[in-house]
A and B are shown apart, each in its own frame.
Chain A
């Protein structure tokens, strides 16, 4: 079974600055998929960015980018030019083709506060 660990329960950043959220995972598989989800106070789960393990290029979505280090089993999320609307819980998640139904395994989450 795979596990996902987010070692930072809470973080804060000043508006317009850059912040990096950490995620590590454990798997014996070579082919898998990683995701970052955002959960604002509304509770809605919003997909921020995703990465396929066999792609070496790091995924980027506007102000959000990842640093995917496959050998180290690390998948960090960088938020540039932080905005007040980025205040939320952030969850790292994993799935693999062998997962029945391709269901997700989540980390414990990081609560991010963006300060004005």
Chain B
């Protein structure tokens, strides 16, 4: 299993440009999520999905869109990039089991810089 994969690893954008961060998992996990990591603020939840066709907003959703057409993929779209979106982005996934004790699996992250 490749686990959780993210592409690209690094990206530089200009203000106003759009792009999609890709996330895929091959573990048949129902739950997938996107976090952003900023210095001193830890990881904050952007959007999440509990299954194909179902998405919801997290703590910091503004400026981002998501969709979940398949179990495996959960892309994050930046419609019009802003310097405030400069961050490291992590995708994560886990099984939909009864206990939240279950480990979440994280991708390697994407470092995004918006000029």
Contact = CB atoms under 8 A, between A and B. Distances in A.
Contact of A101 (B48, B90, B101): B48
Chain A CB within 10 Å — which of B40, B90, B101 has the most?
B101
Contact of B103 (A4, A47, A109): A47
A97 B100 CA distance: 6
B50 interface: yes
A101 B42 contact: no
Interface residues on B, range: 20 to 34
A75 interface: no
A55 B49 CA distance: 29
B100 A4 contact: no
Interface class of chain B by DSSP: strand
Interface residues of A, number: 28
A101 B40 CA distance: 25
Interface of B: 31, 33, 35, 40-45, 48-50, 56, 58, 88, 90, 92, 94, 100-104, 106, 108-109
Nearest to B51: A101
B50 to A, nearest CB: 5
Given A33-B100, A43-B88, A108 B42 contact: yes
B106 A4 contact: no
